[in-house]
Amino acid sequence: MRTPAFFAIGLGFILMGAGLFALTLRKAGKESANPTKAQQREQAALADENRKMRIAAAVVGGVGVLLCLAMLF
């Protein structure tokens, strides 16, 4: 079962995980000195979304690492 296709799929998963993580690094936009309640809710929602996406990126990257390691041993 040591085929280069599974190794390539593992690398693809690692790259997808890195891409998801990169999406979490984007900024929310301009922030004012005194944000309104709507802006505070939006920032909280964005922070929650970023947390979930970082977890998903870690899981996807982990699957890729496992696939790559399985092909080495």
Interacting residues of 46 by C-beta distance below 8 A, sequence separation 6+: 28
Give the pLDDT confidence score for residue 33 in this predicted structure: 79
pLDDT in tens, 5-46: 888 999 999 999 999 999 988 776 667 778 889 988 988 999
b/e burial code for range 36-73 (CB count within 10 A of at least 16 → b): eeeeeeeeeeeeeebeeebeebeebbebbeebbeebee
- This prediction has a pTM of 0.79
**Amino acid letter for position 48:** D
Q: How far is Cα 16 from Cα 5, in angstroms, rounded to an integer?
A: 16
Q: Please, are residues 16 and 59 in contact by the beta-carbon 8 Å criterion?
A: no
pLDDT value of residue 53 = 94
